[in-house]
Structure 1
């Protein structure tokens, strides 16, 4: 019997919310999962299809911790790794940290040579005596069959994945012809399936996998941070840790697989049967607390009611954190609180001090961190919506979105530090929105907003820089966006635009 462990998206180095403890959580969750794989009946290899690291730029501490975890894996259990979008983008450096770990013997870095032949991927066999910078495939020899269990690797390709999969299918056939047919074939890859995450760009369809399915028995995926399975051969375990409040919900499963291939299936010449079991990882709990602000007429009244509400949730929070998945060495981990405010605020938004309320929740629940999500309206905005003049915002039976936007922007601005020139600021916001809809360059939008701010508020504008790292209006399916933040793997929640 041969057993493989399948884990993905460990994201070593992710200092979530700027917390060192969350950075350490990423490593400890990986370590515990490796220990379970090895101790619970043993494993013959560990598969890790992408995003071992959260960034290709590592702090020394992260590399050191990762090497320590890998050094604890027995020498006869290879850790087979492929590249994810966080490990390296589509224009990799000459030497990466995965190359380094490969050359040091900590992992076997598997990737396909896709540049030599546009039709057929080239796969070099791993040679422990001359490992090189990477390998194309790794053979796990078995005594129960004439052929090995053969593991191939495909690196992150973003929107080019479909083309790469055709090359991989041809390359596997060529490799098997040269080195002999395996008893069982695994492919490590880093992408999402469209029916699992339809809103994520760069996903793969089942049609694009038809050729691969003919030559692969088990597709070991990473990239999407929740568990899913498809067609009895595609498996994605979910990241060991949740990386945002949406991923922390109970309907997002996180963990790793153990894959067992029975001896009588190997080398039988028929379709290979195997058993797959999913295991929850030990991780940091997320707990959601919701609070409706509608009934409270003053900040003091709201704060008192909020503290009472959080106090009433304490028992539920403690019970939730005692679940086996959230305990480390028998002790519950302090939770991350997903604090959500809803409803209509009856007083000025400027008097709604979410930082103070979050601090109170953190203290009362013994939380590691409180993530605030504010989905409220103020009474003024609510009144605006109820009093909108149909003749103003509807013309010939059609919605005049420009007029509606102007009213909304002006009402929101009246509750901000720019209230004295609310009409002018509303015009700036409306213009920026129109420029974005027209797909004008982000640099032009930035300059438009900055120059208007300098003109309207010269006292505020000194030493202010509007920092936009990337085009927020770009096509999420193109290569530049696809190779970006895999925190969207899971499907991040779109941040709400709020006026603090």
Structure 2
């Protein structure tokens, strides 16, 4: 008997309620991206269902307006007759010992289907979805696909994969096409990611019959082996992610392997990088004039949304950062570029450092040198020597988060998560 063909949209890391840079307009971008990609690629061009593989929300506790944003999109899908199946990610999962979450609230009110395994002493157990109870671990859809949910497992992911595979093998017969939603990342996809899974650790799921592993967590799109897919976030959460390819997967699955197309044509806030290299002979006034001229030449057409602009000053200077009125310069650059948010990075080194000064052409080279310096310093201390590489990468991440203007509470939560082995 020939398999039926189904079409679905795979989203992850929507992060509604994103609140860095203290900008309501930037927070709204994440809602606009979610609404637009769903309208274009699920409703206007209909699919059988939508899966959200974790982190619908940025925070576990959300404001009423953020809940309303989720409901606007979910209700549009419901009105179109398109079911939404979701799991919790590390950002929006319920804290330990708490029985509810905002995703559970949405599921209880019939606005999405939250698929969750139950954990018992003997391992993970999968129950069929009950529409009456609004509870369950898997659902067989009319288009001929079985969708299974999971939870955020953090450092316990490898063990949980073995238990999930065993539980999948115990399920009653059903559709041959099996999707598992799983919020975790693979190693080698982004730098400085602790706790990433190796591809071979996923293979028990493949052997148990999973034909499409719908991942989330890493904000860059990638696929492996014709069955593992991660769409990335809809919007960039930091300047480090601006160059990531990301979007949503629109998947058609009939006979053979699933065919996944990464769609990127939806609303996104433009981002610009500007870079000025100086030689050490310029005065602060000359550097200021050169930066403003660079900014003037980068201004986007008036019909484009206001961009987020990062301006980097690199090379060597014959003065210190204190000789520039950085706040006034930042205001001027923002006005000239028409930026919603203007980030100014003073990365030039004083010329008096001579041969010790480093001029880099590529961001990757700078990160490698910084990481080596941190590692060498940490290796010189007996208490940190064994973890020098891990801690050096953590310091680099911490630096980027501070430069991106993250709140102290977010940085504290990140450090707590990192030391527990659960990379954010």
Give the TM-score of the pair, scaled to structure 2: 0.82
Question: Which of 276, 296, 300 is 1:291 aligned to?
Answer: 276
Q: Is the 8 A contact 2:195 2:421 kept in 1?
A: no
Q: How far 1:189 sits from its partner (Å)? A: 0.7
2:48 maps to 1:77 = no
- Residue 367 of structure 1 is matched in structure 2 by 339
- Residue 274 of structure 1 is matched in structure 2 by 258
Q: Is the 8 A contact 1:285 1:334 kept in 2?
A: yes
- Residue 249 of structure 2 is matched in structure 1 by 257
2:189 maps to 1:188 = no
- Residue 125 of structure 1 is matched in structure 2 by 128
Moved more, 295-304 or 237-246: 295-304
Q: How far 1:290 sits from its partner (Å)? A: 0.3
Aligned ranges for residues 7-22 of structure 1 at < 5 Å?
Answer: 7-22=11-26
What whole-Å deviation, never above 9, does each CA across 1:166-224 have from its counterpart, x for those lacking one?
A: 1111111111xx3x231310000111111323531111112111110121000011101
Identify if the C-alpha distance between structure 1 residues 45 and 471 changes in structure 2 by more than 3 Å, giving closer, same or farther: closer
Identify if the C-alpha distance between structure 1 residues 37 and 469 changes in structure 2 by more than 3 Å, giving closer, same or farther: closer
Q: Is the 8 A contact 1:217 1:233 kept in 2?
A: yes
Tell me, in whole angstroms, the C-alpha distance in 2 between the residues paired with 1:90 and 1:356: 43
Tell me, in whole angstroms, the C-alpha distance in 2 between the residues paired with 1:356 and 1:225: 34
Question: Which of 286, 307, 311 is 1:301 aligned to?
Answer: 286
Tell me, in whole angstroms, the C-alpha distance in 2 between the residues paired with 1:82 and 1:342: 43
Q: Is the 8 A contact 2:275 2:311 kept in 1?
A: yes
Q: Is the 8 A contact 2:117 2:125 kept in 1?
A: yes
Q: How far 1:65 sits from its partner (Å)? A: 1.7
2:71 maps to 1:67 = yes
- Residue-pair matches, total: 379
Q: How far 1:108 sits from its partner (Å)? A: 0.6
Q: How far 1:128 sits from its partner (Å)? A: 1.4
Structure 1 alignment gaps of length 5 or more: 143-147, 266-271, 322-330, 387-403, 406-429, 441-465, 487-500
Give the secondary-structure state (helix, strand or coil) at the position aligned to 2:348: strand
Give the secondary-structure state (helix, strand or coil) at the position aligned to 1:52: coil
Question: Which of 92, 101, 105 is 1:96 aligned to?
Answer: 101
Question: Which of 203, 228, 236 is 2:222 aligned to?
Answer: 228
Question: Which of 23, 27, 36 is 1:32 aligned to?
Answer: 36
Question: Which of 348, 356, 361 is 1:385 aligned to?
Answer: 356
Q: How far 1:91 sits from its partner (Å)? A: 2.0
What whole-Å deviation, never above 9, does each CA across 1:102-158 have from its counterpart, x for those lacking one?
A: 10001111122233423xx21111121221xx420111113xxxxx31000111111
Question: Which of 86, 101, 119 is 1:114 aligned to?
Answer: 119
Question: Which of 298, 307, 332 is 1:313 aligned to?
Answer: 298
Give the secondary-structure state (helix, strand or coil) at the position aligned to 1:362: helix
Question: Which of 193, 200, 210 is 1:207 aligned to?
Answer: 200
What whole-Å deviation, never above 9, does each CA across 1:363-421 have from its counterpart, x for those lacking one?
A: 112111112223221233x14838xxxxxxxxxxxxxxxxx99xxxxxxxxxxxxxxxx
Q: How far 1:283 sits from its partner (Å)? A: 0.7
- Residue 157 of structure 2 is matched in structure 1 by 161
Give the secondary-structure state (helix, strand or coil) at the position aligned to 2:261: strand
Identify if the C-alpha distance between structure 1 residues 261 and 474 changes in structure 2 by more than 3 Å, giving closer, same or farther: closer
Q: How far 1:274 sits from its partner (Å)? A: 2.8
What whole-Å deviation, never above 9, does each CA across 1:249-292 have from its counterpart, x for those lacking one?
A: 2xx11211111123xx2xxxxxx333211100321111100012
Structure 2 alignment gaps of length 5 or more: 358-372, 388-407
Question: Which of 338, 348, 352 is 2:324 aligned to?
Answer: 352
Give the secondary-structure state (helix, strand or coil) at the position aligned to 2:312: strand
Give the TM-score of the pair, scaled to structure 1: 0.70
Identify if the C-alpha distance between structure 1 residues 173 and 467 changes in structure 2 by more than 3 Å, giving closer, same or farther: closer
Identify if the C-alpha distance between structure 1 residues 49 and 154 changes in structure 2 by more than 3 Å, giving closer, same or farther: same
Identify if the C-alpha distance between structure 1 residues 295 and 22 changes in structure 2 by more than 3 Å, giving closer, same or farther: same
Moved more, 68-77 or 201-210: 68-77
Tell me, in whole angstroms, the C-alpha distance in 2 between the residues paired with 1:130 and 1:97: 17
- Residue 172 of structure 1 is matched in structure 2 by 168
Question: Which of 290, 306, 328 is 1:334 aligned to?
Answer: 306
